[in-house]
Structure 1
Amino acid sequence: MSPIRRFTHDTFRSLRHRNFRLFFGGQLVSQVGNWLTLVTQVLLVLRITDSALALGLLAAAQFGPVLLLGPFAGLVADRSDKRRLLLIVQSLAMLQSFALAALAFLPEPPLAGIFAIAVLGGVTVAFDNPARRAFVVEMVPPAEINNAVSLNSALMTSSRVIGPALAGLLVSTVGFGWTFVADGVSYVAVLAALLAMRSTELHRGPVTPRAKGQVREGLRYARRTPDVWAPLVMMAVVGTLAFNFQTVLPLFVTRDLGGDETVFTILFSVVSVGSLVGALAVARRTTMDVRGVGVSAVVFGVSMGLLALAPNLAVAMPIGVLVGFGSIGFLTASTAIVQLRADAAMRGRVLALQAMVFLGSTPIGGPILGWITQQLGARWGIVVGAVAAVGAGLWGMSPARGGTPRDVGLTASDTAEPAPA
């Protein structure tokens, strides 16, 4: 086998499975649409308010429900048919995009309405996130879970390359309203993919029966499993302060680099290119270890520090690639460890807990960084995130976190029997 064919075979091996191919294609279209809405919401609120604090509050509105509903949403995922749950959630998300479009077409879009739909979108994300990520595990055999998780991360970051750039183009040519409409239409792809899947080819784990104390049981399980707990702690710190650099980035571009909305979407896409490279690099790995997660957090933090020092856009662009590489390297590695090590019956709750500490930390960190940016400037907002990422990474690399660094491989608890024909 030639080196190129071997690279392709090793990197994309989970796409041999029909259900995962359908999921991958549908999600690629839909996630581009999601980034259309996320970036367009930011640009619309920035156009209305020109306020860093307002952008921080928007982030809080978008992800606050994840913090509040995370454990319950994970329990729902464990108890439910995940494909059916995703069909419901994705349909609701489509309606929300069309509602945003209706507001954006008004002569003066109401800020309260935009924030209200952002909250509803956060509720959707709270249920979608654990169900979608747990469903990835059901579409491939156990030996290819790590590859499927990594390719899913690569898909997400590919959409981050295309979506923001497309958002800038559409907003400048057809306006905010039609950009939201484009996102609503994109949900057709993922809904069609889910409906076309073969349920007999899914590798389903056990469905969790109803019982008291199941949310607390998920928390206790995570706490006593080092390969789950250490990534969660790092994700809480990095998610609160470092990943919220996206809240600061629009102001950094417009106030410090002298750019406009188009320049922001270009820099955002450049960061996403680095993320795509990082995700594909992780996809080739067959094992993960907690210390490696710490290293990627340090790389992320150092690159953010360099970005804060960038004097102009020409310098910021190549550094943005490093920021993307470090950010997705951290996120993909930590996610893969949690998904691989979580028991099948606990996976939905553990992934919801992960979403809660990562996405749910946004409503805490977003306003904090928004206030720092408002008071001290966007560069200081980025520096705070850089210090947090480096600190969390050094803790993850240190024996002080407890346990010993080791590769994470599959055990019997990671396997699931295929659904009966």
Structure 2
Amino acid sequence: MTAETATTTMFASLRIRNYRLFASGQVVSLVGTWMQRVAQDWLVLNLSGGSPVALGVAAALQFGPTLLLSLAGGALADRYDKRRVLMGLQVGMGLCALVLGVLDVTGTATLGLVYLLCFLNGCFSAVDAPVRQSFAGEMVGPGSLQNAVALNSMTFNTARIVGPAVAGLMIAAVGTGWVFLVNFATFAAVLTGLALMRPGDMFAYERVARAKGAIRDGLREVRGRPDLVLLLTVVFFVSTFGINFFMTLAITARLVFDRGAESYGLLTSALAVGCLLGTFVAARRAGRPRLRTVLLAGLFFGVAELFTGVMPTYALTALLLVPTGLGQLVFTTAANSAVQLGVSESMRGRVMGLYVLVLLGGTPLGGPVLGWMADAWGGRAPLVIGGVLTVATVVVAAGVVTWQARRARAAAAAPA
């Protein structure tokens, strides 16, 4: 494969007009989203007097709605026009940013009000995630789905490089409130992209009629697939305790190295650089990823995170976050593609609702637990323990796969 061919393959989904509009709007909006995440973490730390537990509570409130709403969001994705649903959700999230910005700029923000807006934004995000994830297949079709998933990650992580760095500078210059207001303005980009799409160019699929038991049907589909059950279990444990950087990096910057918002933003950007490198690896792959790929990527990620947690200096910690981000991206992209390509289009929204549930639903558990660990054992504990638990999860899953394979071979060799 020539370099030109590889590049063409890597960006194949961008040849589709609807996807180009979606991706261009997303990259602007996601820059604002990452700016808000950094500013929100910093605001919570300031309002709480630097409490890691308060940061964990904010994370639990923001991601807690995933436990209740992601499955319903998946059912909505299978039943209604995903583009219109996404537009409504973007408006809701934009209004949350506007209110938070106004409260902060006017000096009336309190920890309780920030918690409330974290929860409301989390409700919109919980429904948005499965709809947006399953929308990729409708824009590009099954042949380019894995490429679109990887490019979505590239867009996400490009924004994650730019957003935190800009947020750190803005916080130092004008405070956190204006960061929230800038995020509100960026929602215009994604809404414009969605509005300009051509519905007739979408890849058609059969929408599910309104009926009782739609969510239950999605759960039954997964339950009958041991490979998907194992995959989703691995994703749950790795994401709950390993992929919690939105709070662990804030703790690391402030409590371990006694640094400010700019340094927190740079740590987040270093992680995002690794994730961006990981997208180049993921975008070149074709076909449905194997479980082995997911497990190897998870193992690499866990080891890298563990070593990041024990680095003695800020510079070395930032450096190790690059391979950590690469491993995280390859792991999540491979898992996402394996789940989406493993089910039918008509079931994809509901199954992705379950995927989002296990990917983000553990945060209400992991956030406070990791915050408590940092409070009790020091700011390095979340990274170290997250890495150890990730490696342990992958090793156990690999053992299960090996046992299943041996049992299958023994059954095949047994006399009839």
Bucket of the pairwise TM-score, normalised by the shorter protein = over 0.9
CA distance in 2, matches of 1:230, 1:302: 21
The 8 Å contact of residues 59 and 367 in structure 2, kept in 1 or not, is answered as: yes
Structure 2 match to 1:334: 335
| Alpha-carbon distance between aligned partners in 1 of 2:198 and 2:392, rounded to the nearest angstrom | 45
Question: Does structure 1 residue 298 correspond to structure 2 residue 264?
Answer: no
Q: Which residue of 1 aligns with 2:313?
A: 312
Q: Secondary structure at the match of 1:311?
A: coil
Alignment partner, residue 236 of structure 1: 236
Deviation of 1:246 after TM superposition, in Å, equals 3.1
Q: TM-score, normalised by structure 2?
A: 0.94
The match for 1:289 is 290
Residue of structure 1 equivalent to 2:14: 15
Please state whether the residue corresponding to 2:250 is helix, strand or coil.
Answer: helix
Q: Is residue 2:346 matched to residue 1:345?
A: yes
Q: Does 1:361 align with 2:362?
A: yes
CA contact (8 A) 1:74 1:352 kept: yes
What aligned pairs does 1:24-43 form with structure 2 within 5 A after superposition?
A: 24-43=23-42
The offset of 1:321, in angstroms, is 0.2
Q: Give yes or no for contact 1:39–1:164 (8 Å, CA) kept in 2.
A: yes
What one-letter code is carried by the residue in structure 2 that aligns with 1:109? A
Q: TM-score, normalised by structure 1?
A: 0.93
The separation in 2 between residues aligned to 1:109 and 1:345, in whole angstroms, is 44
Residue 402 of structure 1: how far off its partner (Å): 7.0
Matched with 1:91 is 91
AA aligned to 1:342 is V
Q: 1:402 to 1:130 in 2, by over 3 A?
A: farther
Deviations 1:100-136 (A, max 9, x none): 1011113252111111011011110111111111111
Counting only pairs closer than 5 Å after superposition, residues 18-417 of structure 1 correspond to structure 2 as 18-49=17-48, 50-287=50-287, 288-400=289-401
**Alpha-carbon displacement from aligned partner over 1:371-398 (angstroms, at most 9, x marks no partner):** 1111111212211111121122223433
**DSSP-derived class of the 2:203 partner:** coil
| One-letter amino acid matched to 1:270 | A
Query: 2: distance between equivalents of 1:165 and 1:332?
Result: 24
Q: Is the 8 A contact 1:138 1:202 kept in 2?
A: yes
- Distance (whole Å) between structure 2 residues aligned to residue 12 and residue 398 of structure 1: 36
Give the C-alpha shift of residue 139 in structure 1.
Answer: 0.7
How far is the alpha carbon of 1:11 from its aligned partner?
Answer: 0.5
Give the letter aligned to residue 55 of structure 1.
L
Structure 1 SS opposite 2:25:
helix
The separation in 1 between residues aligned to 2:282 and 2:207, in whole angstroms, is 30
Q: Answer whether contact 2:151 2:279 (CA < 8 A) is retained.
A: yes
2-structure distance, mates of 1:325, 1:141:
27
Q: How far 1:148 moved relative to its partner? A: 0.7
CA distance in 2, matches of 1:401, 1:341: 21
* Aligned match of 2:411: none
Deviations 1:326-345 (A, max 9, x none): 11111111001111112111
Matching residue's letter, 2:155: L
Q: Does the 8 Å contact 2:89/2:124 carry over to 1?
A: yes
- d(CA) in 2 for partners of 1:19, 1:98: 28
Mark the runs of 5 or more structure 1 residues left unpaired by the alignment. Answer: 406-421
Pair 1:53–1:337, CA change in 2 (3 A): same
Q: Deviations over 1:354-375 (max 9, x none)?
A: 1111111101100000111111
Partners in 2 of 1:141 and 1:85 — Cα distance? Answer: 20
CA separation in 2, counterparts of 1:395 and 1:162?
37
Q: Distance in 1 between matches of 2:337 and 2:45?
A: 35
In the alignment of these two chains, the number of paired residues is 404
Retained in 2: the 8 A contact 1:35–1:163?
Answer: yes
Are 1:294 and 1:392, in contact at CA under 8 Å, matched by a contact in 2? Answer: no
- Shift in Å at residue 256 of structure 1? 1.7
Point out 4+ residue stretches in structure 1 off by more than 4 angstroms.
Answer: 401-405
Counterpart Cα distance in 1 of 2:120 and 2:216 = 26
Could you tell me which runs of 5 or more consecutive residues in structure 2 were left unpaired when the two chains were aligned.
407-416
Using the TM superposition, give the Cα deviation of residue 227 of structure 1 relative to its aligned residue in structure 2, in angstroms: 4.0
Deviates further, 290-299 or 223-232: 223-232
Q: What do you get for the CA RMSD once the two structures are aligned? A: 1.6
Measure, in 2, the Cα distance between the counterparts of 1:14 and 1:396: 33
Distance (Å, rounded) in 1 between the aligned partners of 2:161 and 2:62: 21
2:374 counterpart letter in structure 1: T
**Offset of 1:404 from its aligned partner?**
5.6
- Cα distance change of structure 1 residues 291 and 395 upon mapping to structure 2, 3 Å threshold: farther
Identity of aligned residues (%): 37
Question: Which amino acid in the other structure matches residue 284 of structure 2?
Answer: R
Per-residue displacement from partner, 1:189-240 (whole Å, max 9, x unpaired)?
0000001001111003211112222212111111212443222111110111
What code does the residue aligned with 1:361 have?
G
Q: Does the 8 Å CA contact 1:103/1:114 hold for their aligned counterparts?
A: no
CA distance in 1, matches of 2:116, 2:403: 42
* 1:373 counterpart letter in structure 2: A
Structure 2 Cα separation of the partners of residues 257 and 176 of structure 1: 21
CA distance in 1, matches of 2:349, 2:343: 9
Cα distance in 1 for residues equivalent to 2:398 and 2:330: 15
For the Cα contact (< 8 Å) 2:79–2:210, is it kept in 1? Answer: yes
Give the deviation of 1:403 after TM superposition: 5.6
1:377 to 1:72, Cα distance in 2 relative to 1, 3 A: same
